[in-house]
Amino acid sequence: MNGKKIRYAIVGFGGIAENRLAKEGFACDRKRFRPLPGVELVGATDIRISRQDAVERLKLKWYESPEAVFADRTIDAVFIASDNSTHFLLSKKALAAGKHVIVEKPMATSLAGARKLAALAAEKNLALAVDHMMVHNTLNRKARELVARGDLGEVNDLCLHMEFFYGSTPEEASSWRCADPAQLGGPIGDVGSHCLYMAEFLTGSIIKTIAAVFTPRTLNIRAENGAFIRFRTENGLSGSARVSFNDPRGSLESTLLNLGFEIYGTKKTLRAYGTLFQLSGHPDEPVKLRLDVEGSGAAETLSPDYVENIYQKVILDHAASICAKKRPTGEDGVHNLRLVLAAYKSAASGGREIQLK
């Protein structure tokens, strides 16, 4: 793109798009963030016309439809942040129109759909990335470094958890996350997806087997209420993830701090607080993220050495990849969806272990 800014538009302007992608990722909140180098967010669209105000409040152009975005020749790339069931078709149309794409997880609701998107991106040499933003949290990177360096001793177990309380009101229960299991919006697809790529990131090894069971239902929603997922990685590590929509955890602060993981080594145990969420570690966030490392000596608490906004890093990496020779084709998203679908399949069969090829 030779020094020209990469011009983005957002398709699907709901909660995540407004609060995390536009305000933080594209730095529209100028009180908190400086403009991103080489990147410009031009506008956004949503099927709900009521979202026009929110778009225009951020001084962005309102597009009448996704098609209007795809037809705009001045737009280089789109960020798809709509309901899960629309990711495939919208990403396909965007790629077909020659746009580079970042798509929210899961990149599609079927493996066939995800593979088609990856193939289309490769065929058209367009950068297709999936928003696996938690790998950019600096404390998660620190945890991975401690594991890789052997600081915890030999790691033999890890446990990740993303437990929420969502779906108890009629409004939440009728939302796409809770009301339509085909959207993969229940806890396995919604947050299990994050836990699974983070398990691979932290251990530096891919998941080869998965077994899962649904946890007891207390919410009257069509999606699963929660799941316990066991996995084994290629390098022989075993671990688990707990995901749910029916675990109130005291206050908002305690719920957020509980979103994290434990990594158990023969010398030390590492506990991460609040790092499996949408937070980057900025001082003005509602909780202070931290890692606690304890062994036979005194416990040590690690705070971020520096903070990089996790959504900005996804966008900057995508923009940089557009200028690079080798562009991502979303294969990590295909792999992640394969794991998510395996977890659903195992849970539906009562916990049968599934081998991933």
Ligand X SMILES: NC(=O)c1ccc[n+]([C@@H]2O[C@H](COP(=O)([O-])OP(=O)(O)OC[C@H]3O[C@@H](n4cnc5c(N)ncnc54)[C@H](O)[C@@H]3O)[C@@H](O)[C@H]2O)c1
Nearer to ligand X, 155 or 227 (CB): 227
Nearer to ligand X, 10 or 155 (CB): 10
**What amino acid occupies position 145?**
E
Say whether residue 247 binds ligand X (CB under 6 A): no
Q: Which of 133, 160, 259, 291 binds ligand X (CB under 6 A)?
A: 133
Q: Which of 3, 15, 37, 297 binds ligand X (CB under 6 A)?
A: 15
Q: Which of 24, 104, 180, 224 binds ligand X (CB under 6 A)?
A: 104
Q: How far is the CB of 30 from ligand X (least distance, A)?
A: 21
Nearer to ligand X, 46 or 247 (CB): 46
Say whether residue 182 binds ligand X (CB under 6 A): no
Q: How far is the CB of 183 from ligand X (least distance, A)?
A: 8
Which distant-in-sequence residues (6+ apart) come within 8 Å of 264 by Cβ?
152, 155, 156, 157, 158, 159
Q: What is the chain's alpha carbon radius of gyration, rounded to the nearest angstrom?
A: 20
Say whether residue 84 binds ligand X (CB under 6 A): yes
Nearest one of 198, 193, 192 to 141, comparing CA atoms: 198
Q: Which of 86, 137, 258, 336 binds ligand X (CB under 6 A)?
A: 86
Q: Which of 6, 8, 9, 20 binds ligand X (CB under 6 A)?
A: 20
283-301: buried (b, 16+ CB within 10 Å) or exposed (e) per residue? eeeebebbbebebeeeeee
Q: Which of 6, 14, 24, 268 binds ligand X (CB under 6 A)?
A: 14
- How many residues of this chain bind ligand X (CB under 6 A)? 25
CB 107 within 8 A of CB 167: no
Hey, what are 239's tokens? 């671990």
Q: Which of 156, 240, 278, 321 binds ligand X (CB under 6 A)?
A: 278
Say whether residue 186 binds ligand X (CB under 6 A): no
* Cis peptide bond upstream of 106, omega within 30: yes
The arrangement of strands across the sheet holding 207-214 comes to 300-302, 290-294, 269-273, 260-265, 155-163, 238-244, 226-233, 207-214, 354-355
Q: Which of 76, 131, 247, 332 binds ligand X (CB under 6 A)?
A: 131
Nearest one of 341, 334, 325 to 119, comparing CA atoms: 334
Nearer to ligand X, 48 or 352 (CB): 48
Say whether residue 137 binds ligand X (CB under 6 A): no
How far is Cα 5 from Cα 8, in angstroms, rounded to an integer? 9
CB 218 within 8 A of CB 225: yes
Q: How far is the CB of 50 from ligand X (least distance, A)?
A: 9
Across-strand partners of 77?
Answer: 8, 100
For 116-206, strand residue ranges (E) read: 128-130, 155-163
Say whether residue 66 binds ligand X (CB under 6 A): yes
Q: How far is the CB of 297 from ligand X (least distance, A)?
A: 36
Say whether residue 255 binds ligand X (CB under 6 A): no
Say whether residue 46 binds ligand X (CB under 6 A): yes
Say whether residue 81 binds ligand X (CB under 6 A): yes
Question: Which pairing describes strands 6-11 and 77-80: parallel, antiparallel, or unpaired?
Answer: parallel
Say whether residue 51 binds ligand X (CB under 6 A): yes
Residues at the interface with ligand X (CB under 6 A): 11-17, 20, 45-48, 51, 66, 81-84, 86, 104-105, 131, 133, 190, 278
